[in-house]
Chains A and B, each alone.
Chain A
Amino acid sequence: MSVQDKARRIIWIRRFVQTLVLVFFLVILAANRPADGVAPTAPVTIFFDLNPLVMVSTWLASHSLEGISLLGLLTLAVTLVFGRVFCGWFCPFGTLHNAVASLRKQFRKVVPRVEMFSRWQRAKYFIFLALLVMTSAGAQWIGVLDPFSLLYRSISLTILPALDVGVSAVANGVYLTDPHLGSLHLRDLTEPVYRWWQERVTATELRVFSGTGVVFLVFVTALVLNLVRNRFWCRYLCPLGGMLGLIAARPLLRLTSDPEACNSCQKCTLACPAAAQPEKPGEWLASECFGCWNCVGSCNNQGLDFQWTLPLQKTSSGSVDIGKRRALASVAAGVAGLSMMRITPAAQGKTFNPALIRPPGARAEYDFLQRCVKCGLCMQTCPSGGLQPTWAEAGLEGLWSPMLVPAIGWCEFECHACGQVCPTEAIKPLPLAEKKKVKIGLAVIDTTRCLPYAYGRECIVCEEHCPVPDKAITFEMREAMQRDGSVRLLKFPRVDPVRCTGCGICETKCPFQDLAGIRVVSAGEDRHPDNQPMLAGGDPYGDPNSDSNGNANEESNGDSYGY
């Protein structure tokens, strides 16, 4: 079997592997749904666990290995041996880029364009270095550009909801209008499909996320850039590609070329998605190469092959010259970026955004931002749909990190899924009993809107939804004057700051839909000692025998929370 035949066979295996991984990625993504209120059992974080960029940056940012998967080491080991095969064989985002690039070839008979190595491809190393500098000072911004975070966030927060809007619109439209021919009802066809979609894919009511236009735009731009250069993202921008490229400078498996066989036909250059210079004998760029075998398969003269080399042997290949000055410039850029993010009042703890309500178990803001990779898993799994990506609420540093928006959905009392699926433990995986006691904020009543206060009307909706067994909303009976001058005795709600956990269901369910008469603010959140309006130590006027949660010290109370 000739080298070319062998390569062609390997290419087909690679395509198969790529497809498999991409499908697996989507299946795993669909598995991260709030099916029935328990955290998903599927290994939903596996892609992030394998991601060495997430591993190293989280470690550097948090100065701790706590809660970090070390599976990323496996990827690093593979890269040391085989080069950037992670990009060429595994990365689902890379596979998507491949797909877009080949679609371009299929549908538009474009003139083949010889894409030579461009020095701009070094950008990804600079991006990686700059992000790493920021990271080591605690600003984990990797997630914005990490390919897995980007892909996951884009699909779960934009593509999937868009599909869901479409699917449910069609299914509900057909259901309600019921078009039929005799006894043949179209709904008999659409209903089973819709049921499958809801049970297996979304497993929840239709949900949408705010401010995701930019998320979508970044995703689409990254894909469209394939029209400019094949796998533009992977070649020029990807920080994970940059990291692996630096490690892959001297892999054990290297491309060898036979100068005698080369007739300068440039078929290999055309076939190379990475512009790794297979056409220049002795100048192949190991750091750029995805290990895809396209070049070997394209050479009719059998002039190329991948061969084992002794470790650390001097390369007979070219190398990407990053340059000390440019590396230094990236470091400076990282420092500049970091300071820009940190010179805000909020970052310096001078102000607190009342809307920045973090999920239960979220670490203190600094620690949280050091770990959150903005992947979107927690938002996707939140059963009420209340976890939303931030835009400006957490500053640029916290872009697309999760916050609870009670106007949209609340933190479900019997649920702790967000902490269970967080790949970096930015949200700690608290046991359910513990999570129920976490304060993520505090409810405040707006007496200019609350129905009994402002309009003298009866309403107990916030109290009835308050999930704390002994109720964090209590009533005070007060007289309210009616239009005819009569007086009606009404229940006026009041929030008990000791019991309120800030779950936000009162705000979600308040009859006022635009701006609720009771709203949750971040004040009082456990994770922040400086954001506390209330005197610590529980109820100042209450029973001295009750604990700081306002519970009388009885066995039964422990049980009521802790089942």
Chain B
Amino acid sequence: MPDPTRRDFLKTSALVGGGLLAAESLALREAALASATPPAMSIARWDEAALANSDLSDVAVKLTQTAIESLGGMGRFVNKGDTVWVKPNIGWNRRPELAANTNPDVVAAVVRMCRDAGAKTVKVGDHPCHPARQAYRNSGIAKAVEEAGGKMVYLDKKRFKEMTIDGQHLKKWPLYVEIIEADLVINVPILKHHGLSKASMAMKNYMGIIGGNRGSWHQNLDACLADITQFMKPRISLLDAVRVLTDHGPQGGDPADVDVRGIVAASTDIVALDALGAELLGHDSQAIGNIGVAAARGLGTPDYRSLDPVEKTIS
């Protein structure tokens, strides 16, 4: 038999690789079929004892992967050829250690999983409070995302378009066209303290896709957040609690306000996810106004335990 040519080699590897992929997705599908309804929530924790001696970057990546896999894998949400918009919180020109922005390794892991699930383009972007270029860079997110094969997008002030929200308070509001046009928006907030809403999590993170006079939302923040959440119909959100900002949020700046918790959670129920976040910050979820309002609207349940979350502790 002649030596295999390069072409043959490529063919074989493609077949083998494809086979593996197929087997994997088959296994997942079987797993999904086994439990009649796929899980609605997952919580991945890093072994607390091991946390101090672990590389946080590694922790963030593995927790993110575990959280998504526990939900049934990214393939459950991403279709081949999709354009996905990953929406982290990159609100501030702050380095990762200060926990004002989503952990860059979490974001990169999400991007990678989207790519692996067959997404055509994975865009990452936010509408920061600080200058976008500085925030993207100092948050560490730009570098991490580009290495993961994602595309950082700077939002252009002129590309917001007024859309019909038809919410209880918001009737119309300018939103970012490119985000709304994406096949899937994955909301990836960081868990942090907030001066008004006490906690800033997934619903609050939607303020990064809106234009207009954002500051004015605070006059009726709970209703506005419920309205935008209702409009966005989130299919999956992922909460980064690897580092948590416990005070002086949402911007922080003092390392003393940062707590390393080593937790990443994901859910199809954004209200449940935020309720978990509230609990992690030491609040009763009833104390967070927007959780109550969103729950009353039927956007999700604040009783996240009722979703029977898949909980895993790894190290």
A469 touching B161, Cβ below 8 Å: no
Q: Quick check: is A438 within 8 A (CB to CB) of the other chain?
A: no
Shortest Cβ distance from residue A441 to the other chain B in the assembled complex, whole angstroms: 19
- Nearest opposing residue in chain A for B216, CB measure: A511
Known: A172-B158, A198-B154, A415-B134. A468 touches B253 (CB 8 A): yes
Q: Quick check: is B147 within 8 A (CB to CB) of the other chain?
A: no
- Nearest opposing residue in chain B for A455, CB measure: B219
Residues 96-149 of B contacting A (Cβ, < 8 Å):
129-134, 136-138
Count of A interface residues, CB-CB < 8 Å: 45
Q: Quick check: is B296 within 8 A (CB to CB) of the other chain?
A: no
Shortest Cβ distance from residue A162 to the other chain B in the assembled complex, whole angstroms: 16
Q: Quick check: is A179 within 8 A (CB to CB) of the other chain?
A: no
A556 touching B254, Cβ below 8 Å: yes
Q: What are the residues of chain A within 8 A of B195 when measuring CB–CB?
A: 460, 463-464, 475, 491
Q: What are the residues of chain A within 8 A of B76 when measuring CB–CB?
A: none
A37 touching B93, Cβ below 8 Å: yes
Q: Quick check: is B250 within 8 A (CB to CB) of the other chain?
A: yes
**For the complex, what is the distance from the CA of A509 to the CA of B215, rounded to whole Å?**
7
**For the complex, what is the distance from the CA of A34 to the CA of B254, rounded to whole Å?**
25
Known: A172-B156, A176-B161, A458-B221. A37 touches B134 (CB 8 A): yes
* Interface mask (B219-252 → A, CB under 8 Å = 1, otherwise 0): 1110000000000000000000000000011111
Q: Quick check: is B196 within 8 A (CB to CB) of the other chain?
A: yes
B196 touching A37, Cβ below 8 Å: no
The stretch of A99-107, A200-208, A253-261, A523-531 that contacts the partner chain:
A200-208
Q: What are the residues of chain B within 8 A of A557 when measuring CB–CB?
A: 254
* Interface mask (A467-511 → B, CB under 8 Å = 1, otherwise 0): 111110001000000000000000100000000000000000111
Q: What are the residues of chain B within 8 A of A321 when measuring CB–CB?
A: none
Q: Quick check: is B255 within 8 A (CB to CB) of the other chain?
A: yes
**For the complex, what is the distance from the CA of A464 to the CA of B157, rounded to whole Å?**
21
Partner of B251, one of A467, A560, A563: A467
* Interface mask (A184-219 → B, CB under 8 Å = 1, otherwise 0): 000000000000001000011110000000000000
A414 touching B133, Cβ below 8 Å: no
Partner of A465, one of B94, B251, B257: B251
**For the complex, what is the distance from the CA of A175 to the CA of B129, rounded to whole Å?**
24
B157 touching A205, Cβ below 8 Å: yes
Residues 146-190 of A contacting B (Cβ, < 8 Å):
168, 172, 175-176
B134 touching A206, Cβ below 8 Å: no
Q: What are the residues of chain A within 8 A of B251 when measuring CB–CB?
A: 464-467
**For the complex, what is the distance from the CA of A413 to the CA of B131, rounded to whole Å?**
11
A460 touching B133, Cβ below 8 Å: no
A175 touching B159, Cβ below 8 Å: yes
Q: Quick check: is B95 within 8 A (CB to CB) of the other chain?
A: yes
Known: A37-B138, A457-B219, A471-B248. A464 touches B131 (CB 8 A): no
Q: Quick check: is A36 within 8 A (CB to CB) of the other chain?
A: yes
**For the complex, what is the distance from the CA of A556 to the CA of B97, rounded to whole Å?**
14
Partner of A384, one of B131, B137, B213: B131
Q: What are the residues of chain B within 8 A of A129 when measuring CB–CB?
A: none
Q: Quick check: is A412 within 8 A (CB to CB) of the other chain?
A: yes
Q: What are the residues of chain B within 8 A of A510 when measuring CB–CB?
A: 215
Q: Quick check: is A559 within 8 A (CB to CB) of the other chain?
A: yes
B138 touching A560, Cβ below 8 Å: no
Q: Quick check: is B33 within 8 A (CB to CB) of the other chain?
A: no
Q: Quick check: is A35 within 8 A (CB to CB) of the other chain?
A: yes
A460 touching B218, Cβ below 8 Å: yes
Q: What are the residues of chain B within 8 A of A412 when measuring CB–CB?
A: 93, 130-131, 134
Q: Quick check: is A546 within 8 A (CB to CB) of the other chain?
A: no
B93 touching A414, Cβ below 8 Å: yes
Q: What are the residues of chain B within 8 A of A206 when measuring CB–CB?
A: 157-158
A464 touching B133, Cβ below 8 Å: no
Q: Quick check: is A513 within 8 A (CB to CB) of the other chain?
A: yes
Residues 386-414 of A contacting B (Cβ, < 8 Å):
412-414
**For the complex, what is the distance from the CA of A384 to the CA of B218, rounded to whole Å?**
23
B253 touching A469, Cβ below 8 Å: yes
B131 touching A383, Cβ below 8 Å: yes
**For the complex, what is the distance from the CA of A556 to the CA of B255, rounded to whole Å?**
8
B250 touching A413, Cβ below 8 Å: no
- Nearest opposing residue in chain B for A203, CB measure: B133
B177 touching A176, Cβ below 8 Å: yes
A470 touching B248, Cβ below 8 Å: yes
Q: Quick check: is A144 within 8 A (CB to CB) of the other chain?
A: no
Q: Quick check: is B1 within 8 A (CB to CB) of the other chain?
A: no
A34 touching B215, Cβ below 8 Å: no
Q: Quick check: is B29 within 8 A (CB to CB) of the other chain?
A: no
**For the complex, what is the distance from the CA of A227 to the CA of B94, rounded to whole Å?**
53
- Nearest opposing residue in chain B for A195, CB measure: B154
Q: Quick check: is A46 within 8 A (CB to CB) of the other chain?
A: no
- Nearest opposing residue in chain A for B133, CB measure: A36
Partner of B213, one of A205, A511, A559: A511
Residues 11-60 of B contacting A (Cβ, < 8 Å):
none
**For the complex, what is the distance from the CA of A563 to the CA of B129, rounded to whole Å?**
21
**For the complex, what is the distance from the CA of A412 to the CA of B254, rounded to whole Å?**
17
Q: Quick check: is A451 within 8 A (CB to CB) of the other chain?
A: yes
Shortest Cβ distance from residue A437 to the other chain B in the assembled complex, whole angstroms: 13
Q: Quick check: is A461 within 8 A (CB to CB) of the other chain?
A: yes
**For the complex, what is the distance from the CA of A465 to the CA of B196, rounded to whole Å?**
12
A residues sitting closer than 8 Å to B (CB atoms) are 34-37, 168, 172, 175-176, 198, 203-206, 383-384, 412-415, 451, 457-461, 463-471, 475, 491, 509-511, 513, 556-557, 559-560, 563
A458-B220, A464-B251 given; 15 more Cβ-contact pairs under 8 Å: A34-B131, A34-B134, A168-B156, A175-B159, A176-B161, A204-B131, A204-B133, A458-B219, A458-B221, A460-B218, A461-B215, A463-B195, A469-B257, A491-B195, A509-B129
A-B contact pairs, 18 of them (CB 8 A): A37-B138, A168-B158, A172-B159, A175-B159, A176-B158, A384-B131, A413-B93, A413-B253, A451-B219, A458-B218, A458-B220, A459-B219, A460-B218, A461-B218, A464-B194, A465-B251, A471-B248, A511-B219
Q: Which 6 A-B pairs have the closest CB atoms?
A: A469-B253, A37-B134, A469-B254, A511-B215, A461-B215, A36-B137
